A = this chain, B = another copy of it.
Amino acid sequence: MQARVTITLKNGVLDPQGKAIKGSLNALGFEGLNSVRQGKIFDIALEEQDKTSAENKIKDMCEKLLANTVIENYTIEITE
């Protein structure tokens, strides 16, 4: 199974990196930007063949390592 985990900052959590990228885009002449927020993805290939147990396993990985659930949200998408 192939899965994609998407991790984004929760609403209200400051994103200085995103703000810096917005500043750089403005400096390059891009206008009309309201906000830029950065997040990350993990593409995980695992041997597990059952979709539900793959999802549960990945949820566990997110809670234990991949996401900081105090400030981040995560979504799991099984892609194949």
Please give the residue numbers on chain A whose beta carbons come within 8 Å of chain B beta carbons, in ascending order: 6, 8, 18, 21, 24-25, 28, 30, 32-48, 57, 60-61, 64-66
Contacts and interface: CB of A to CB of B under 8 A. Distances in A.
Contacts of A40: 38-41
A48 B21 CA distance: 18
A33 B25 contact: no
Count of chain copies: 2
A75 to B, nearest CB: 11
A44 to B, nearest CB: 5
Nearest to A66: B21
B45 A38 contact: no
Given A24-B65, A33-B44, 6 more contacts: A6-B41, A18-B42, A35-B45, A38-B40, A39-B41, A40-B40
Contacts of A33: 44-47
